[in-house]
């Protein structure tokens, strides 16, 4: 089926929705809403709304649509590309849509699922799943919901939501509209792979319920959306191929694709997701291992060897460059407890961090494949750290975040002297077989220009984050040129310019590296079909000057 009908939400009273009017007032009392983790600054906008229900949201959207007022949507504001930073019109914060609505077993797939409103945070969801307590569901009068909760609690297994996009304060809906990924994408794929249904409000305040597996593009590559007035909008799916890597660049498109995939990763430019159904997976015991190595190149070599070893099933495969380890060593010199781990071995010049299944109570542990592959790269498991208790897994995870967090704090200090500088963090992924080539380019060019840089991240997906820290404006200019060169190279190798952070407002100029003007035009037509007035998340994905 490629035709779908939108519905009217229960009518809410626009006049009763909490609204802050006037940029001065918003600036003075709601300054947190002026930016996100990208630190992009908002341009003056007029309204800040806090709808408490879908009905209120629908009322706001219908009214703003009628008045042609652009609307930007904010979830937890943890994005890195300024997607929710308003540039005009109204900002609508979805923070009050924060309830888990059901936990249920889907009979067809035999999987446990959670249905939740958009602003449930990933951290809270994880906490609720761990203890199987869902405030709000306990007193739900719906007998089906109550039975689902009882059944879930009676299931002796523990379950979790696999996508782990590092920033656990992110909202579930935000992670869906950005198709967030992270370390565990290595094994479990991006968020898209776990979304089973969404409710999405369109520009005029009507909504679509889209379960996965129901609405597919016609053989001619089209969807038709009928609104309650009987007016049809036809969406023509772009015909560009997807890169052979993880990607958060532009709209997803594929022949006879599922309609749900068009909205996942669309960064709120086609509609606003208010509720999602996501699948859960049985939780297993894991061991985290940080393997210290002699060089960055040995780390790259080991990552490729581990990936090629079919007997190893890793949850994630991450990288620390030698200079990133030095950064942490410096912290340890000042205060040994800051990093939360023992002293990093003096001879470690690079490291690989990975996680795999582990039974601490097994009589014998069989890890011959791991020992072999590590030995084949000239490394030894004796030079590793391992942990499997939950407190250990937690501190290893904190250690993983230490590098980017330290970089951000260094840069915040530096900005005091050079307000114009900012971090240049690459987010490019390349297809298998090109990791070494890309790594050599990163390292050689950063060293040639004598830049301060550190590298870390998702080496298992050929997706290393290179962070350049400008020390002055010359460094910034050199770094920006380098960034563009890296983006071009990633695309030339068949990769993605933005593998996980998305495009938002900050990276819209890179869209043209990956797509031809004709392909960008196809994307714009999709946007025009669903949002003819161009009022949803203006300036996101599409650069302002070519915005429809």
Partner 1 sequence: MKIVVCVKQVPEVTNVQVDPATGTLIREGVKSILNPFCEYALDHAVRLKQAFDNISISAITMGPPQARDVLLRCLELGADEGILVTDRKFAGADTWATALTLAEAIRTAVPDFDLILVGKQAIDGDTAQVGPEIAEILGLAQITYGVEVNLSSSRKQVRVTQEVERGYEVVEAALPALVTCSKGEVVRRAPSFKDVLQARKKLIRTIWADAIAIPEGQLGLQGSFTQVVKVFPPPAKKTNTILQNLEVEKAAQEIFSFLKEKRFL
Could you list the residues that contact partner 1 (CB under 8 A)?
A: 130-131, 287, 289, 291, 336-337, 339-342, 360-365, 367, 370, 380-392, 395
CB of 153 to partner 1, least distance (A): 11
Question: Can you give the C-alpha Rg of the chain in angstroms?
Answer: 24
CB of 358 to partner 1, least distance (A): 9
CB of 399 to partner 1, least distance (A): 10
CB nearer partner 1, residue 329 or residue 395: 395
Following CA atoms 199, 176, 88, 64 in sequence, which dihedral angle do they give, to the nearest 10 degrees? 0
CA-closest candidate to residue 442, choices 464, 417, 412:
464
Token pair listed for 224 = 């038709």
- Count each helix (H run) and each strand (E run) in the chain, helices first: 15, 21
The answer to whether the CB of 1 falls within 8 A of the CB of 214 is: yes
CB of 318 to partner 1, least distance (A): 16
CB nearer partner 1, residue 395 or residue 415: 395
Can you tell me which residue has the tokens 């908002």?
42
CB of 102 to partner 1, least distance (A): 22
CB of 336 to partner 1, least distance (A): 5
CB of 305 to partner 1, least distance (A): 16
The per-residue b/e assignment along 334-365, b for 16 or more CB within 10 angstroms, e otherwise, is: eeeeebebeebeeebbbbbbbbbebeeeeeee
CB nearer partner 1, residue 219 or residue 342: 342
CA-to-CA separations, 188 to 125, 185, 194, 224, in angstroms, rounded? 18, 5, 9, 32
The answer to whether the CB of 323 falls within 8 A of the CB of 195 is: no
CB nearer partner 1, residue 7 or residue 130: 130
List the beta bridge partners of residue 512. Answer: none
* Distance from C-alpha of 161 to C-alpha of 60, rounded to nearest angstrom: 32
* Distance from C-alpha of 270 to C-alpha of 178, rounded to nearest angstrom: 12
CB of 502 to partner 1, least distance (A): 35
CB nearer partner 1, residue 103 or residue 264: 103
CB nearer partner 1, residue 361 or residue 416: 361
The answer to whether the CB of 245 falls within 8 A of the CB of 495 is: yes
The answer to whether the CB of 42 falls within 8 A of the CB of 35 is: yes
Q: Which helix (H) or strand (E) holds 209?
A: strand 207-211
CB nearer partner 1, residue 383 or residue 415: 383
| Number of Cβ atoms within 10 Å of the Cβ of 519 | 18
CB nearer partner 1, residue 34 or residue 351: 351
The answer to whether the CB of 313 falls within 8 A of the CB of 460 is: no
Phi, psi of 336 (to 5 degrees): -55, -25
CB nearer partner 1, residue 48 or residue 128: 128
Distance of CA 420 to the CA centre of its chain: 27
CB of 133 to partner 1, least distance (A): 9
CB of 283 to partner 1, least distance (A): 12
CB nearer partner 1, residue 18 or residue 130: 130
């Amino acid at each position: 089926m490629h035709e779908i009908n939108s519905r009217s939400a229960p009518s809410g009273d626009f006049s009763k929705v909490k609204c802050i009017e006037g940029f001065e007032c918003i600036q003075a009392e709601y300054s947190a809403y002026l930016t996100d983790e990208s630190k992009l600054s908002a341009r003056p906008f007029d309204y800040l709304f806090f709808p408490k229900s879908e009905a209120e949201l629908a009322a706001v959207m219908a009214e703003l649509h009628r008045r042609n007022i652009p609307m930007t949507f904010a979830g937890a504001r943890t994005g890195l590309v300024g997607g929710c930073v308003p540039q005009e019109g109204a900002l609508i914060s979805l923070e009050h849509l924060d309830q888990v609505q059901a936990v249920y077993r889907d009979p067809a797939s035999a999987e446990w699922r959670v249905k939740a409103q958009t602003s449930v945070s990933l951290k809270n969801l994880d906490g609720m799943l761990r203890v199987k307590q869902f405030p709000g569901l306990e007193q739900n009068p719906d007998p089906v919901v109550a039975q689902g909760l009882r059944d879930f609690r009676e299931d002796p297994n523990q379950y979790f939501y696999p996508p782990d996009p590092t920033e656990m304060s992110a909202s579930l809906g935000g992670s869906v509209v950005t198709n967030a990924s992270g370390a565990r994408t290595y094994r479990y794929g991006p968020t898209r792979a776990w979304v089973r249904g969404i409710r999405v409000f369109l520009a005029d305040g009507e909504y679509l319920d889209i379960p996965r597996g129901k609405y597919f593009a016609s053989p001619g590559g089209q969807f038709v959306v009928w609104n309650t007035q009987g007016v049809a909008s036809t969406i023509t799916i772009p015909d560009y191929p997807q890169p052979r890597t993880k990607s958060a660049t532009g709209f997803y498109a594929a022949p006879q694709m599922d309609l749900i995939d068009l909205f996942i990763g669309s960064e709120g430019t086609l509609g606003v997701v208010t509720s999602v159904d996501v699948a859960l997976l049985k939780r297993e015991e894991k061991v985290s291992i940080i393997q210290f190595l002699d060089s960055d190149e040995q780390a790259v070599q080991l990552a490729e060897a581990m990936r090629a070893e079919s007997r190893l099933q890793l949850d994630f495969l991450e990288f620390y460059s030698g200079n990133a380890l030095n950064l942490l060593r410096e912290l340890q010199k000042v205060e040994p407890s800051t990093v939360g781990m023992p002293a990093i071995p003096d001879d470690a010049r690079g490291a690989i961090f990975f996680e795999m299944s582990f039974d601490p109570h097994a009589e014998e542990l069989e890890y011959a494949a791991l020992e072999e592959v590590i030995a084949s790269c000239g490394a030894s498991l004796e030079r590793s750290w391992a942990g499997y208790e939950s407190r250990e897994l937690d501190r290893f995870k904190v250690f993983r975040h230490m590098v980017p967090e330290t970089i951000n704090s260094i840069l915040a200090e530096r900005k005091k002297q050079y307000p114009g500088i900012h971090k240049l963090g690459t987010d490019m992924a390349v297809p298998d077989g090109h990791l070494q080539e890309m790594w050599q380019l990163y390292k050689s060019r950063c060293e040639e220009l004598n830049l301060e840089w550190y590298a870390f991240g998702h080496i298992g997906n050929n997706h290393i984050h290179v962070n350049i820290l400008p020390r002055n404006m010359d460094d910034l200019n050199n770094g920006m040129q380098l960034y563009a060169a890296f983006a071009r190279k990633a695309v030339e190798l068949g990769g993605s310019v933005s593998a996980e952070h998305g495009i938002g407002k900050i990276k819209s100029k890179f869209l043209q590296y990956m797509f031809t003007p004709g392909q960008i035009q196809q994307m714009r037509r999709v946007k025009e079909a669903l949002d003819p007035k161009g009022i949803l998340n203006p300036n996101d994905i599409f650069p302002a000057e070519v915005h429809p």
